[in-house]
Amino acid sequence: MVEDNAKTVLVVEDNPANMELAVELLEVRGFRTLQAATAEEGICRAKAERPSLILMDIGLPGMDGLAATRLLKQDAQTAGIPVVALTAQAMEGDREKTLAAGCLGYITKPIDTRTFAQTITLFLSAQRS
């Protein structure tokens, strides 16, 4: 098995504990990570650093993750970067909302530490095929 250690994941998350957990789980599996605590900062970092994948919290202060994803998908510079939603609202209709905004899929919080990094790897594989 070849590890995906060249892959960079941009984590957009305003909750410091969730950010720390996501980053730790990704880095222990060999991913590089970038961090942003707001949608605006996430969009800037996405344009500047072209990550392999963006993990986008939906509940953010100011602009929310769905609006940020729509902007990323409307911009030719970032439209090709897969966005995976991170949402605490595992409610009926949420999957449709994230897909309609342009997300490839979603991960529900609380983060499942056993499957999180593997799920990100699967989203990256899905995007490539």
Identity of the amino acid at 55: L
Crossing angle between the packed helical segments 65-74 and 94-101, to the nearest 10 degrees? 30
**In the complex, minimum distance from the CB of residue 22 to Mn ion, in angstroms, rounded to a whole number:** 12
* Contact positions vs Mn ion (CB under 5 A): 14, 57, 59
| Tokens encoding 60 | 């953010």
Looking at beta carbons only, is 14 or 41 nearer to Mn ion?
A: 14
**In the complex, minimum distance from the CB of residue 74 to Mn ion, in angstroms, rounded to a whole number:** 23
With CB atoms as reference, the residue minimizing the distance to Mn ion is 59
**In the complex, minimum distance from the CB of residue 59 to Mn ion, in angstroms, rounded to a whole number:** 4
Looking at beta carbons only, is 16 or 93 nearer to Mn ion?
A: 16
Distance CA(70)–CA(6), nearest Å, equals: 26
Closest CA to 68 of 109, 103, 35: 103
Looking at beta carbons only, is 46 or 58 nearer to Mn ion?
A: 58
